[in-house]
Structure formats: structure tokens, C-alpha cells
Amino acid sequence: MSVKTLEMNMLNYIDGVWTASQTGEVINSMNPANQSEIVGTIQRSSMEDLNAAIEAAKKALSKWKKVSPVKRGEFLHKAADLFEEKADEIAELATKEMGKAVKETKGEVLRGAAILRYYAQEGMRQMGEVLPSVNPDNMLYTKRVPVGVVGVIAPWNFPIAIPIWKIAPALIYGNTIIFKPAAETGLTGAKIAEVFEQAGLPAGVLNLVNGKGSVIGQGLVDHKDVNAITFTGSNEVGKQVASGAVVRGAKYQLEMGGKNPVIVLEDAALDHAVELTVMGAMKQTGQRCTATSRAYVHRLIYDEFKEKVLKKVQSLKIGNGLKEGTDMGPLASKAQMDTVLKYIEKGKEEGAVLLTGGNIPAGKAFTSGFYVEPTVFENVTRDMVIAREEIFGPVLCLIKVDSFEEAIEQANDTIYGLSASLFTSDLSKALTFVNEIDAGLIQINGETGGAEPQAPFGGMKASSSNSREQGQAAKEFFTSIKTVTMTPVCK
């Protein structure tokens, strides 16, 4: 197979300068829709590169934290304008790097712009509070200050929106950043850094390095001058980030896996529930920590729901994400495809019934990429691996239940607690669900995925480090509080 390299070679961005890595080595970014295409190259950063980036961020901090938050907001607005202008170009690049449909990557760029605008305005809002003191003459107040140098470790599944939802609050609250995108989407990561450069961000405020999580990510976690680490990725890596950060007393924030359930009751608007369950499971080829993974469906409507789900799933158009009309692109990498196929085999082995999908789709166009059919299982029991582990692929499990109570009990029987949906028209059941379900993100008649910039995002149990991102919640992570007491004394 002849391999075609597109002309894109992105460098590291350190202290306002685009530089080649001291290793002299690059990493190829492959197109998962077409293995014969190298999208471009990124740098394999060395520890020296990383140290230089951290040094630059440390040096830039003393000035950046003194810039008025209102002024910092102007940089964010400018970056938002640029992301909107370049939405098509960046979306196309991200789709080439990780495969999802271009309507989704474009949605991400626009979401990124919305996040930037939200945090730009944040620069005009409260950064502390005045409190009453035991001494009525005292001035007792809090002042929020930056945590300092922040390491941003971002995943490949949302290569634009997730970096921005970490970078935007970090910037507005006065921190400086070392950004390490996932190696699979390093070119998109570099484009993000380029946009901030074009927005006029001072040198050293945002730095970019590339490489393996186990080397560069771990290096960031372990470095004495990195005050906080924000991470989105797997639970396995999240644990390493947390233990490294704890050892040296750094602040950390983890967003990790999910095994998100929907419950469909007999009084649900069925077509709506079908549509959102299928999209929740298959959008982005299931590569979302918020993806719908288990559907608990009331016995009375189970057969009808199943039939409609299968019809919808079988109508999904699989293909190159760049093509108009594609619903589901390839998985992001060979490793991801192998993992998903392994889970499908495991499901069959353990006795779940495969209703549709389960294979690499037939045809040359598909074998040259990392495609897997949208897959639905039934007769899935709670002890099966496919009911317990996060698959991160287009696999949905249908589970018949006798009651709402049984559905909640089974839905909660997981180590995860990110998102959960209930489809019903019964208000009291909706209220019970909100009280009883163990999830940080709850939807009534909505899809398990999705997030709005102004609302806290994150999970319970093993899905997060009990922290939340976005909205006002981001302030907790990206600032530290000084409590100030001013006592008047008469001379």
C-alpha cells in the first residue's frame, strides 16, 4: 500500500516560538478512515522540550496574572472570532485525524468558540466575596488568585472542545499553560495553539508539547513547577495522574469513563426515545465518555422499542467523516478498533444475543480504515463484561426490565456515574430518578451526551475526581482563595 503524506508538519510552541523538538523525531498522525494517508507530523517532544515549556509558563505567569481579567477576556473573544472564521478548516483537520463526521468536528469548533465567549465574560464577574467579621470594623473578604502553571492533558475524542474548555477558564483566571494534546490529534492541538498565538496571547502563556502520555504527560504530572493538572481520559491513566499529583501536593482534576444508562418507561414518547438512545450510543462512533451504553426498557414496550432501534441503527450511514451525510465515521485508531471488536466477541461468548452489527463492514472502502458496524446486543445480564466495562465504541446493550425500580437499581450497578437519561412523561418518576440515580449529568427525555459551557460537567463515582469542569465550577479548580482580614487601628 502506498502511503501519501499531506503537507503538514507542526512544531512545538514554546515561549511564543514554533520549534522542532530536541529529539529531532516526529510522530505521524494517521487518517483512521484511510490507513494509506499520513495527515502530517507532530514533534516527539523530549523532557528538555517539556522543561523549556514549563520554564516559559512559569516566567510568563508573573506578568499574565497581573493583566486585568477584563483584558484577558479580550484575548478569549479574539480567539473565539478566529475559531469561528476557521471552523471549516479546523473541523476538516480534526476529522482527518480522528475520523468523526465533519458535522460533529465543526460543532466542536463552534462549541469551543461559545466556551471562549462564556469565559471571556467571566473576566468581568466576581472574583471573591465580602464576609461579615466578628469585629464589625474589619474588612473580611476573599480574593481568588490563579493556581499558577497548569498542565492540560487532553484526549483525542473531542480534540477541539475539551482542550478549549480547559484552556479558556485557565486563561481567564490568570494561569499559564502547558498543553499536551493526545498524540492521535496532535495536529489539531497545534492548530488550537496557533489560533491563540494569532489572537495575540503573550509569549509563554500557552505552550504546546507533544508525545506519549506515559512520557510527556507523566513528565508534566511529576514536575515540581506545575501547580495543577487537568486531565480527561481513561480511568487507568487518571489514577496515575492522581497519584503523581498527590505525591507532590499538586492540584488535579480528572474526567474519566462512563457506562451511561438510559431508562425507557412504558409512557415514554417512543420515537423520541429511540432516536436519542441510538444517537447517544452511535454518535462519534460511540467514542464519548457520555455515550449511551445500556438501555433499560420496560417489558411492555420492549419489543416495539427494539424493532425501532434496529431500524434506526441499520439506517445509519457509515463512511469517511469528510463525506456529506455520514452518520458514523471510523474508530480513531487500530487499537480502538481492536478493543471494540474484542468486547463484541466477549459479549457473544458470554451469551448476549447480537441483534445487529458486530463486524467490520464489508467493502474495500471500509477495510482501508478502522470501521466497525453499529452494534446492538440483547439478553445482556449485569455480570457480563459488556454491561460493566466502558467499551468506547458503537455498542448498545438492550436490557428488558419489569419495573422502574428494577431499572434504577440495575442502572446504578456500575463503578461509573457520569450521565444517565430517563424517558418518561411521568413527572413524579422524573423526580424520583433525579434523586435516585448516581450520575453527575442527568437528562429527562434527553440524550446522555452533550454539555453546555455555563453548566458544570462531570461525574460521580469512578467517572471523575469528584470535581466538575465548565460553568462556575471551573473557578474552583483554576483559582486559589486568599482570605483577607483588614483591621483598622487608630494611631
Among 82, 229, 289, 376, interactor with ligand UN1 by CB under 6 A: 289
Q: Distance between CA atoms of 329 and 92, rounded to whole angstroms?
A: 13
Tell me which residues in 204-243 interact with ligand UN1 (CB under 6 A): 232
CB of 291 to ligand UN1, least distance (A): 7
Which residue, 162 or 384, has its beta carbon nearer to ligand UN1?
A: 162
- Residue 459 engages ligand UN1 in binding (rule: CB under 6 A): no
Tell me, yes or no, if 289 is annotated catalytic: yes
Among 16, 128, 446, 450, interactor with ligand UN1 by CB under 6 A: 450
Interface with ligand UN1 (CB under 6 A), residue total: 12
Would you put residue 240 in left (φ > 0), alpha (ψ -120 to 50) or beta? alpha
Q: Which stretch binds ligand UN1 (CB under 6 A): 137-145, 156-164, 321-329, 367-375?
A: 156-164
Q: Distance between CA atoms of 203 and 17, rounded to whole angstroms?
A: 8
Catalytic residue among 97, 122, 197, 289: 289
- Residue 416 engages ligand UN1 in binding (rule: CB under 6 A): no
- Residue 440 engages ligand UN1 in binding (rule: CB under 6 A): no
Among 288, 298, 308, 312, interactor with ligand UN1 by CB under 6 A: 288
As given in the structure block, the three cell numbers for residue 102 are: 465533519
Which residue, 116 or 451, has its beta carbon nearer to ligand UN1?
A: 451
Q: Distance between CA atoms of 254 and 220, rounded to whole angstroms?
A: 15
Tell me, yes or no, if 255 is annotated catalytic: yes
CB of 459 to ligand UN1, least distance (A): 9
- Residue 157 engages ligand UN1 in binding (rule: CB under 6 A): yes
Catalytic residue among 37, 97, 122, 255: 255
Q: Which stretch binds ligand UN1 (CB under 6 A): 96-104, 285-293, 339-347, 429-437?
A: 285-293
Which residue, 290 or 479, has its beta carbon nearer to ligand UN1?
A: 290
Among 184, 197, 255, 327, interactor with ligand UN1 by CB under 6 A: 255
CB of 418 to ligand UN1, least distance (A): 8
CB of 261 to ligand UN1, least distance (A): 15
Which residues of the chain form contacts with ligand UN1 (CB under 6 A)? 155, 157-158, 162, 232, 255, 288-290, 449-451
- Residues annotated as catalytic are 255, 289
